[in-house]
Structure formats: structure tokens, C-alpha cells
């Protein structure tokens, strides 16, 4: 299942951010954690953030809309728009901050953060383990947004590491 995104998204003039984690679960189990609404509600989001809910329509052109609460009590929302779904191999989506209704909005703490990030999540089958790799690159971004993305790489690493920690803890429950 692939949606043609050529011409629809202009990649920013910057280097892609990439992070990987090998988790202790077979790829089928990890895929379900990423693609089932009931499971995403249990782990999705950075460490120490509270998941307020997930609504998932897993199909090309479908969306995931979610809410999170930061440790200091700020509530915010995000959304995925799925462009490619290759079961147990890859998800390609555009990630944005959103309002409670799912409309794209600016980052709640950083007005220069890119509105859209092309996100590719790859799943490598390692038998009883799975390597999950996330690739992020701003799309349709201004020069200031691309610059801000470059400046925030350490913060991206921290956020994704915490999200992977939550995934590890979720997978360890079974």
C-alpha cells in the first residue's frame, strides 16, 4: 500500500535525523505495537508524558490523532497521515502537531519548528528481536524551520529515546 508523494512534499535542505533501537520482541509483535490503537494508547509518546488517547485509521491516506500531556501539565496533540504501509517492514507518514480536532498547528513550545516531518519507520526482523529505525526530515519547510530542526537534533534524540523506552516497557509486559 503506497501513496504517491512525489511532488506533494518538498524535502528541506538539511540532513535527515535518524535514530534506531533494537527491541526484545519479534517483528510481528513490534508491528502490532505500532499499528494497533489499543496498544499505541499504552506506550506512544516521550518518557514521562501522559498519553491522553489515540484514534487510528491505519490505511494509506488515513490518520492517527493523539493527545499527550507533558510532565509540566501542557496538553497538546499530534497527527500522522499515512503515505505507505508495508506490514512488518515500513511505515511512511507525515507527522505534525495538531489541535484537539486534528488540524495542523504550530509546535506548542517552538514557533519555528517545521509544520510537517516526513517520517519513515523501518522494522528489521532479527528473529526474537527487532531493530526499529526512525528517519525524520522536514518537508515544505522554510529556511528558518530547517535551521531550527538542525539545532534541535539533541532534543529529537532525547524525545525518541524516551519513546523507545516506553515501547521497551510495553513490549516487556507480554
CATH number at residue 115: 3.30.530.20
Q: Does residue 70 fall inside a structural domain?
A: yes
Q: Does residue 91 fall inside a structural domain?
A: yes
Q: Does residue 76 fall inside a structural domain?
A: yes
Q: How many domains does the chain have?
A: 1
Q: Note down the domain range covering 69.
A: 17-172
Q: Does residue 1 fall inside a structural domain?
A: no
Tell me the C-alpha distance between 144 and 152, whole Å: 12
Q: Does residue 2 fall inside a structural domain?
A: no
Q: Does residue 9 fall inside a structural domain?
A: no
Q: What is the mean predicted confidence (pLDDT) over 142-166?
A: 95
CB 3 within 8 A of CB 84: yes
Across the beta sheet with 90-98, what order do the strands follow?
A: 17-23, 130-139, 116-125, 90-98, 75-86, 63-69, 50-56
For the chain, what is the mean pLDDT? 93
Q: Does residue 7 fall inside a structural domain?
A: no
Residue 149: is its pLDDT beyond 60?
yes
Q: Does residue 125 fall inside a structural domain?
A: yes
- Between these two residues, 11 and 60, which has the higher pLDDT value? 60
Label residue 5 by pLDDT band (50, 70, 90): low
Q: What is the mean predicted confidence (pLDDT) over 166-171?
A: 97
Over the stretch 30-80, which tens digit does the pLDDT of each residue have?
A: 999 999 999 999 999 999 999 999 999 999 999 999 999 999 999 999 999
Per-residue pLDDT at 6 = 45
Amino acid at each position: 500500500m503506497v501513496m504517491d508523494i512525489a511532488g506533494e512534499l518538498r524535502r528541506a535542505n538539511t540532513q535527515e535525523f535518524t535514530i534506531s533501537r533494537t527491541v526484545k520482541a519479534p517483528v510481528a509483535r513490534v508491528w502490532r505495537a505500532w499499528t494497533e490503537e489499543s496498544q499505541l494508547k499504552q506506550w506512544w509518546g516521550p518518557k514521562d508524558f501522559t498519553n491522553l488517547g489515540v484514534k487510528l485509521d491505519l490505511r494509506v491516506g488515513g490518520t492517527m490523532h493523539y493527545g499527550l500531556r507533558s510532565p509540566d501539565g501542557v496538553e497538546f496533540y499530534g497527527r500522522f497521515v499515512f503515505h505507505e504501509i508495508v506490514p512488518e517492514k515500513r511505515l511512511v507518514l507525515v507527522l505534525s502537531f495538531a489541535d484537539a480536532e486534528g488540524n495542523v498547528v504550530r509546535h506548542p513550545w517552538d514557533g519555528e519548528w517545521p509544520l510537517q516531518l516526513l517520517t519513515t519507520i523501518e522494522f528489521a526482523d532479527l528473529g526474537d528481536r527487532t531493530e526499529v529505525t526512525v528517519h525524520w526530515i522536514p518537508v515544505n519547510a522554510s529556511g528558518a524551520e530547517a535551521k531550527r530542526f538542525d539545532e534541535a537534533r539533541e532534543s529529537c534524540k532525547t524525545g525518541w529515546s524516551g519513546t523507545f523506552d516506553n515501547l521497551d516497557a510495553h513490549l516487556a509486559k507480554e
